[in-house]
Chains A and B, each alone.
Chain A
Amino acid sequence: MHALSGLDLEVPRGTVKALLGPNGAGKTTVVKVLTTLIRPDAGSAVIDGIDVLAHPKSVRRIIGVSGQYAAVDENLTGFENLEMVGRLYHLGGKAARLRAQELIDLFELTAAGNRPVKGFSGGMRRRIDLAGALVFKPKVLFLDEPTTGLDPRSRLALWAVIKQLVRDGTTVLLTTQYLEEADQLADDISVIDDGRVIAEGTSDQLKAQIGGHRIVVALVDLADGESAREVLGRHGEGDPTVSDDGRTVEVAVTDGPRALQNVLANLGEAGIRLHDAGMRRPTLDDVFLTLTGHKAGPQTRGEPDEANLEKVR
Chain B
Amino acid sequence: MSQAGVLRAPSDNRLALWYSDGWTVTKRNLIKIKRSPDMLVFAVIQPIMFVLLFSQVYAGAIQVQGTDYVQFLMAGIFAQTVVFGSTFSGGAMAQDLKTGIIDRFRSLPMSSSAVLIGRTNSDLVLNTISMIIMMGTGFVVGWRVNSSPPEFIGGVALLLLFSYAFSWVMALLGMTVNSPEVINNASFIILFPLTFVSNAFVPSETLPTPLRIFAEWNPVSSLVQAARELFGNVGTAPVPDVWTMQNPVLTVLIGIVVMLVVFVPLCIRKFASISSR
Residue of A nearest to B35 (CB): A75
Identify which of B3, B17, B32, B108 gathers the most chain A CB atoms within 10 Å of its CB: B108
Which segment of A7-15, A65-73, A232-240, A275-283 sits at the interface? A65-73
Contact A37 B275 (CB under 8 A): yes
| A269 close to B (CB within 8 Å) | no
Q: B36 in the interface, Cβ–Cβ < 8 Å?
A: yes
| Interface residue? B246 (CB, 8 A) | no
Check B8 against A95 for contact (C-beta < 8 Å): yes
Expressed in whole angstroms, the minimum distance between the Cβ of B112 and any Cβ of chain A is 9
Interface residues on A, range: 35 or more
By the criterion CB–CB under 8 Å, are B10 and A90 in contact? yes
> Which of B97-105, B188-196, B224-232 is the contact stretch?
B97-105
Given the known interface contacts A32-B275, A87-B24, the answer about A65 and B107 at a Cβ–Cβ threshold of 8 Å is yes
Are B103's CB and A88's CB within 8 A?
no
B100 x A71 contact (CB < 8 A):
yes
User: Which residues in B have their C-beta under 8 angstroms from that of A137?
Assistant: 1-3, 7
Q: Are B273 and A60 touching (Cβ within 8 A)?
A: no
Residues 7-65 of A at the B interface (beta carbon under 8 Å): 28, 32, 35-39, 57-58, 60-61, 63, 65
Is A267 engaged at the interface, CB distance under 8 Å to the other chain? no
Does B261 have its Cβ within 8 Å of any Cβ on chain A?
no
Q: Name the residue of chain B whose CB is nearest to the CB of A87.
A: B24
Contacting residue for B24 out of A38, A84, A95, CB 8 A: A84
In the complex, which range does the number of interface residues on chain B fall in? 35 or more
Q: A35-B107, A85-B108, A91-B8 are in contact. Are A75 and B32 (CB under 8 A)?
A: yes
Given A99-B7, A137-B1, A137-B3, also A73-B28 (CB < 8 A): yes
Among candidates A38, A61, A95, A136, residue contacting B275 with C-beta atoms closer than 8 Å: A38
**B108 and A60: CB pair below 8 A?**
yes
B275's nearest neighbour on chain A, judged by CB, is A37
Interface-central residue, A35, A88, A89, A116, by most chain B CB under 10 Å: A88
Which one of A28, A61, A73, A132 contacts B32 once the chains associate, using CB atoms below 8 Å?
A73
For residue A312, CB closer than 8 A to chain B, the reply is no
Tell me whether B6 is interfacial, beta carbon within 8 Å: yes
**Does B32 contact A90, Cβ atoms closer than 8 Å?**
no
Max count, chain A CB within 10 A of own CB: residue among B27, B104, B107: B107
B123 contacts chain A at the CB level, 8 A cutoff? no
Q: How far is the CA of A89 from the CA of B107 in the complex (A)?
A: 10
B67 at the interface (CB under 8 A from A): no
A142 nearest in chain B by CB position: B107
- Once the chains bind, are B107 and A63 in contact (CB under 8 Å)? yes
Contacts of B49 in A (CB 8 A): none
Contact with A along B109-152 (1 / 0, CB 8 A): 11000100000000000000000000000000000000000000
15 extra A-B contacts, CB within 8 A, seeds A67-B104, A90-B20: A38-B273, A57-B109, A69-B276, A72-B104, A74-B99, A75-B36, A84-B24, A87-B20, A87-B21, A88-B24, A88-B108, A90-B11, A91-B6, A91-B10, A95-B8
Binding site for B on A (CB under 8 A): 28, 32, 35-39, 57-58, 60-61, 63, 65, 67, 69-76, 80, 84-85, 87-92, 95, 98-99, 102, 116, 129, 132, 134, 136-137, 168
Identify 7 residue pairs between A and B in the complex whose beta-carbon atoms are under 8 Å apart, listed by A's number: A32-B103, A37-B107, A39-B273, A69-B100, A90-B11, A95-B8, A137-B2
